[in-house]
Structure 1
Amino acid sequence: MKTQNNTVLITGGSAGIGFEIAKLFAQNGNQVIITGRNAKRLQEAVAQLENTTGIVSDVSNPDDVNQLVERLNKDFPTLNVVINNAGRAFYYSLSEDGIQASDKAGEEMTTNYLSIIRLTEKLLPLLKKQHEAALVNVSSIVAFVPGHTTATYSASKAALHAYTLSLRYTLAKDTAIKVFELMPPLVNTDFSQEIGGINGISPVVVAEELLAALESDTYEIRVGQTDSLYKLFLSSPEEAFLALNTGR
């Protein structure tokens, strides 16, 4: 997959992993579009980037998604890379009283899974028109080894992983769309501070590994610790679970 002269959409691109991906793609000679729910934060992000357009949009809102897709078809007809990065997560213990786990799970599943299906489905006709195209779904290390304090978030990422596998297999049959899955470990972003993000890797590393993986057509991108934990998971799911959760 070429990594220059693309038109790239990054949801949740105003901060963290999404911002660093946007920055790297913009510096690499791509036209970049980032979305976010907070207009002020989005404007501040765009001001720091070159070749970048910001569109206020909430991926969990169907009306926003419809408006976004309409704008993309009108103003960015060469769109050929979509990076589904926007996410939602809650940190809590399943044993707590009154935590409203089902409500939290509903928000996570909507943003991290169902919203990606909705946006992908609506953008497939545009992507199919391109000579070369890519979809990148940002999941997580917890897609296959869940965290006990992010149980419902982990479940949403596991669902995304299953969907991504099926989407890749299906689109490879009769389209030029390549489907990638980016699986970061703990990353030091505002998004992850509640679960010890200060101890995580830099989002710059995640962005750099994504770009390298696109260039080499490496479809499952297991960044840093994710790769070693994945290998442990293949040999012993129980040991992998303990390795991720012990001490947390």
Structure 2
Amino acid sequence: MKTTGNTIFISGGSAGIGLAIAKKLSAAGNKIIINGRSEERLQNALKELDHTVAIQGDLSVEADRIRIAEDLKTNYPELNIIVNNAGAAFINDLSDHNNNAAEKAYQEINTNYISVIHFTSLLIPQLLQQEEAAVINITSIAAFRSNKYLPTYSASKAALHSYTQGLRDTFSENEKLNVYEVYPPLVNTEFSAEIGGANGIPPSEVADELFTALANNQFEVPVGDSKKLHSLLNPITEQAPH
């Protein structure tokens, strides 16, 4: 896929992995539209980016998803790539009956899974009008294996992984639309600070891997420690009936 001359929407684009992707793709000569909940953070991010505008909104809210999709259709009809990066994660101790585990899981599933499905469905007709288009879903190494700290977050990313495979299969015969999945490991961002993110890789490494994958039409994009797990599991899952 071409790596320049695209119009790209990036959710969660004001910080962390989303901002790193915006920087990489902006520097390559693409028009970038970043999204986030905080207008202040969006404006700060714009100071670090070229060829970029912002649309404020919370994609976990249905009305905001619809509003943003309509904005993109009206003002950016040339949009040809969406990066579903916005996410929610909570440390969720399932042994603590006062933890309100189900509410945390609901927020994660809504943000990381249901919202992505709805928002993508709103924009697929627009993407299919382009000569070349892509949906890029940011999942996680946690999609392969959960743990006691992030059990419900991991489940939401596993669900997104499964949906991404199904979406790719759905459009496998359509040469216009490609579906990418990026599997970051622990990344050093504010988002992951509570779970030891300081020990993670820089978000720029995720952006670099994605850029290379776009150039090579590599639809599965494991990053860092995810590469070993992906190399073991992906050949097995690809043998399963589609």
Could you tell me which runs of 5 or more consecutive residues in structure 1 were left unpaired when the two chains were aligned. 236-248
Which residue identity does 1:67 align to in structure 2? R
Which residue identity does 1:92 align to in structure 2? N
Q: CA deviation at 1:74?
A: 1.0
Instruction: Give the structure with the higher percent helix.
Output: 1
Match in the other structure for 2:75: 75
Change (3 A) 1:147 1:134: same
Post-superposition, which runs of at least 4 consecutive aligned residues in structure 1 deviate over 2 A? 229-235
Q: Is residue 8–residue 31 contact of structure 1 (8 Å, CA) maintained in 2? A: yes
CA distance in structure 2 between the partners assigned to 1:97 and 1:167 by the alignment = 37
Match in the other structure for 1:59: 59
Which residue identity does 2:101 align to in structure 1? A
Aligned residues: 236
Q: CA deviation at 1:97?
A: 3.1
Q: CA deviation at 1:228?
A: 1.2
Secondary structure, in 3 states, of the residue corresponding to 1:157? helix
Q: Is residue 185–residue 223 contact of structure 1 (8 Å, CA) maintained in 2? A: yes
Q: Is residue 7–residue 81 contact of structure 1 (8 Å, CA) maintained in 2? A: yes
Match in the other structure for 2:190: 190
Could you tell me which runs of 5 or more consecutive residues in structure 2 were left unpaired when the two chains were aligned. 236-242
Which residue identity does 2:44 align to in structure 1? E
CA distance in structure 2 between the partners assigned to 1:166 and 1:229 by the alignment = 20
Change (3 A) 1:216 1:45: same
Secondary structure, in 3 states, of the residue corresponding to 1:191? coil
Q: CA RMSD in A?
A: 1.4
Q: Which moved more, 1:20-29 or 1:223-232?
A: 223-232
Match in the other structure for 1:218: 218
CA distance in structure 2 between the partners assigned to 1:231 and 1:93 by the alignment = 30
Q: Is residue 92–residue 104 contact of structure 2 (8 Å, CA) maintained in 1? A: no
CA distance in structure 2 between the partners assigned to 1:40 and 1:138 by the alignment = 24
1:144 aligns with 2:144: yes
Q: CA deviation at 1:172?
A: 1.8
Match in the other structure for 2:239: none
Matches within 5 A, 1:38-187: 38-174=38-174, 176-187=176-187
Q: CA deviation at 1:159?
A: 0.3
Q: CA deviation at 1:113?
A: 0.2
| Matched-pair identity in % | 47
Which residue identity does 2:205 align to in structure 1? V
Q: CA deviation at 1:57?
A: 1.1
- What TM-score results when the alignment is normalised by the length of structure 2? 0.94
Match in the other structure for 1:242: none
Q: CA deviation at 1:176?
A: 1.1
